Structure 1
Amino acid sequence: MKRGFEKVSSYAAQDIKLPQRATQNAAGYDFFAAKDFVLPSIWKKNFIKVLAALRKGQTINEDEMANAQKILKPYLVPTGIKAYMGDDEYLLLADRSSAPLKRGLVLPNGVGIIDADYYNNDSNEGEIFFQLLNFSLFDQTIKQGEKLGQGIFMPYLTADGEERPQTKRTGGFGSSGR
């Protein structure tokens, strides 16, 4: 087996969808939410107050700034899925083209990268999560089975003369360093 998808053990008995391509020539595999999930709007709480104060050059206290930063933190929406692939491949996660327009949901950095060694890691078994921010005015409820984004298997190249890192992945999401 070269590449594909499996359910993580915590979702093994549940009826969740494996990623699938929507058309014959689709490059991306649609990923689906493993459970209902509420994504709060970034415009809630004191975010607008902090933004207005910063624009006016006013000083913001630490608590208000920390609260505003929390609001801008993306949420991890579970898929219940892990992906296996060749050592020289990765899975590129991308927004659905309609998500920002219809619902205001975006991946904060535009893409996500799932490395081959993320599969079956000790921390979370390699479960793939979609990082999402909700820029709409209202909280958005994502229903189980709803499309979150897409994944495309991609090969990658390495630089000439590079020594292969000897460090092995020991954790899950965000574990390859800061």
Structure 2
Amino acid sequence: MGTQRKRGFEVITAYEEAGINLPQRATYQSAGYDIEAAETIILPSFWKKMANYFMQGMSTMNFNQEEARALVKPTLVPTGLKAYMQDDEYLQIINRSSNPLKRFLNLPNGIGIIDADYYNNNQNEGHIHVQLINFGPFDQTIQKGDRIAQGIFASFLKTDQDKGGLEERQGGFGSSD
């Protein structure tokens, strides 16, 4: 009789040969599992983008929605990971405490939520990406293997009126928006 898997991380198919490390806790008392970047990626400076915009003679008076969104849009950093868990659990993606202080990086959504039914979804196999925005004055290069976030598994409670969800997940990232 085998043991049932409860929660953990796996590498997605597209990154199986990429040398992705499964998240680990740094110390015995650590709550979070350190999540690494799966690829080297440049995070553009928000302020540099704004300065370039204004140097081109543009002003906020001329902003259209598409330009404004491009200026503040976070970068999705791939992890090459997916997470499995119980039906009444979720994975919190949380910023590392050193990111804002040392690298001027922040998660614009505060905490990312990975639902149990995101695992192996038909759109992206449950690939976890970390949204980061660089609020520093210079572009930041994230190297493959850099620790960029923490993952904490947690349980959640349901209300007495909960009807168990209306539909099954149909897609991947942001599909329930």
Q: CA deviation at 1:157?
A: 0.2
Other structure's SS at 1:80 match: strand
Other structure's SS at 1:44 match: helix
Equivalence for 2:168: 168
Amino acid at match of 1:61: N
Any gaps of 5 or more consecutive residues in structure 2? none
Q: Separation in 1 of the partners of 2:67 and 2:28?
A: 46
Any gaps of 5 or more consecutive residues in structure 1? 55-59
Give the TM-score of the pair, scaled to structure 1: 0.90
Structure 1 residue 39 and structure 2 residue 36: aligned? no
Q: CA deviation at 1:126?
A: 0.2
What do the CA deviations read for 1:45-94 (whole angstroms, capped 9, x no partner)? 445739x955xxxxx1244x532321201110000000000000000010
Other structure's SS at 2:102 match: helix
Equivalence for 1:151: 151
2:54 corresponds, among 32, 46, 49, to 49
Q: Separation in 1 of the partners of 2:50 and 2:164?
A: 47
Q: Separation in 2 of the partners of 1:94 and 1:46?
A: 26
CA contact (8 A) 1:119 1:125 kept: yes
Runs ≥4 residues deviating over 4 A: none
CA contact (8 A) 1:46 1:68 kept: no
- Aligned pairs (5 A) from 1:121-136: 121-136=121-136
Query: What percentage of residue pairs aligned between the two structures are identical?
Result: 54
Equivalence for 1:7: 11
Other structure's SS at 1:79 match: strand
Structure 1 residue 29 and structure 2 residue 29: aligned? no
Amino acid at match of 1:156: F
What do the CA deviations read for 1:105-162 (whole angstroms, capped 9, x no partner)? 0000211000000000011100100000000101100000000110000000000122
Other structure's SS at 1:43 match: helix
1:163 and 1:12, CA in 2 relative to 1: closer, same or farther beyond 3 A?
same
CA contact (8 A) 1:169 1:176 kept: yes
Q: Give the paired residue count.
A: 170
